[in-house]
Every structure is written in structure tokens, then in C-alpha cells.
Amino acid sequence: MAAAAQIITLLTDFGTTDAYAGIVKGILLGRAPEARIVDLVHAAEFGSLHATGYLLASAFSYFPAGTVHLVLTDPSSAPGRRIIAADVAGQYVVAPDNGIVGPLFDQHRPSALVTVQDSRLLLEPRRHTFHSRLIYAPAAAALVNGARLDGLGAPTSTWTQLPHALGTVEGDGNIVGEVVHIDHFGNLVTNIDASQLPPHPRITVGSTAIDRVSDAYGDVEPGGVLAIVGSTGKLEISINRGSAAKKLFVSRTDPVRIEAGAAEL
């Protein structure tokens, strides 16, 4: 492991109108006063594990070795939910074991993974709400302070996988996926990986068909629809200088279909 960067990122669905995110920061700074806290996202779509998983995977590679990524999207929905911590390509992730880490672990398999169990991380007797304050935040602070991962709990080799993490290949070779995230600009991020695309794909989303995957937004006129592979290697449907979600009347979980098109001349 490289020298710790003393950076903690926060990815939550807490929003900014309540004190929840601030309370977590207070716990982090109380235990790791030298840490730099990066507010990655506090408006992750509630209940959408695919969207949160995409956000984590898309941001991960831009941070230095030793960064601790604290993921707090619906962490207390199940009282018995495992809390896991992982060493991933020289960075750490602390998250609920509800599938959120799946997209990241698909890209970068963890070199070490533990179930967080150390009772010394409890700030007060365990409750069924706001475990981010009781366990998740202290675990992240311990790691940024230099604690060993194996000191937080027992090693494990398994984690929960998200259903439909990738598009499904049908018997005829066509691929059916779905929109898993809609970003601020209205781009439609799908669960279809670039590696799944046939050489000359015909892409259908809603009532719109697209006959190729573009290399850049400028490949189409302003207002034009395009398909493009995003920074995480997933297919995205976009509008050059516009919102695909609004123009195409598409929502999260709507299907996206890929068929092998005719060869380009």
C-alpha cells in the first residue's frame, strides 16, 4: 500500500437539507482531524443501487493511493446487513454489502476484503438507524489514520452482486440492458459494457434507434442523438447539447436493446 493520502470521499443519499452528512463529517474529523473530506455525491438516487454503484466506479480511478471511499446509500435498510471494507488497487472502500461495490469490483478485484466487526468502532450501543455514524464513519477514519484492514474484522472472499449488472445476451445474440443512471445533463447511462457491443450495433431506446456508436459528441449536429461509450466503459445515450432523458422521454430502468446491424461500407 502506498502512503496514505488522508482523503475520505463521501457518497451518500442524505441530501443537503438535513444534518446527516454534516454529522458524518463531524465524526470523521473528530477521529481523523487531518483528513481531507471530499463530498463526492450527497444526492445519490435513493434505493437505486445500480446508480450508486456506477457513481462509485466512475469516480474511483481519479483519486490517489490511500484514499478511503465511504459509501452510505441506504446502509441501515436491513439491521443484519454486513459492513465490508476492501483494499482496491491501493485505495480503500467502506460500504454496506448490498451490491453497491459490485460495479467497482468488476473493474478492480479487491486484493483484501473484510467484514467490519471491531466493537471498538462503535460510538455508542448499536441501534437500527444511522449506522453511518456508529460504525461506517469510525471504520473509514481508522483506515485513513493508518489502521490495518485486517484489524477491522474477519477476512471474507465474497460480496453481494447486483442483479442485472450487465446487459443480458439473448439466444439470437441480441443484447437487452437498461438505463441504470441519468446524470445531471440528462445522459442515459446503461448497464451494457463496451465489450458486449457487436461490430455494427443498432441501438434502440424508447422509440429511438441509433445505428452506430460515436467517438465524440461532435459526431452529430447540436440536438442530435448519439450513443457513446463513457469513461467507465458503459454505453451511454446522449443528446449533443441537450438532455436525452427529456427529449427521448426515457427514465431509469427503461430497456435498451442492441442488435447486430448491417456492416458499414
Sketch the domain layout of the chain as residue ranges.
Answer: 7-155, 168-260
Judge: domain 7-155, CATH 3.40.50.2300.
Answer: no
Q: Angle at CA 94, nearest 5°, toward 93 and 96? A: 125
Phi and psi at 170, nearest 5°, equal: -85, 175
- 164-220 confidence digits (pLDDT tens): 778 888 888 899 999 998 988 999 999 999 999 998 899 999 999 999 999 999 999
Give me the pLDDT at residue 1, please: 43
DSSP-assigned beta bridge partners for residue 86: 93, 113
Domain pair 7-155 / 168-260, same fold: no
Q: Tell me, yes or no, if the pTM score tops 0.95.
A: no
CATH code assigned to 168-260: 2.40.30.90
**Radius of gyration for the alpha carbons in the chain, expressed in angstroms and rounded:** 20
Give residue for cell 457513481. 55
Mean pLDDT by 10 residues, the chain (265 residues): 74 90 93 96 83 91 96 69 93 94 92 88 60 81 94 94 84 89 92 91 95 93 94 92 94 91 57
Angle at 17 between CA 14 and CA 19, to 5 degrees: 70
Give the 3-state DSSP-derived string for the chain, with helices as H, strands as E and coil as C.
CCCCCCEEEEEECCCCCCCHHHHHHHHHHHHCCCCEEEEEECCCCCCCHHHHHHHHHHHHCCCCCCCEEEEECCCCCCCCCCEEEEEECCEEEEEECCCCCHHHHHHCCCCEEEEECCHHHCCCCCCCCCHHHHHHHHHHHHHHCCCCHHHCEEECCCCCCCCCCCCEECCCCCEEEEEEEECCCCCEEEEEEHHHCCCCEEEEECCEEECCEECCHHHCCCCCEEEEECCCCEEEEEECCECHHHHHCCCCCCEEEEEECCCCC
Whole-number pLDDT of residue 151: 92
**Backbone phi, then psi, for 229, in 5-degree steps?**
-90, 125
Please report the pLDDT score of residue 262 as a whole number. Answer: 58
pLDDT of residue 2: 41
Does residue 96 contact residue 44 with C-beta atoms inside 8 Å? no
Q: Which amino acid is at 237?
A: I
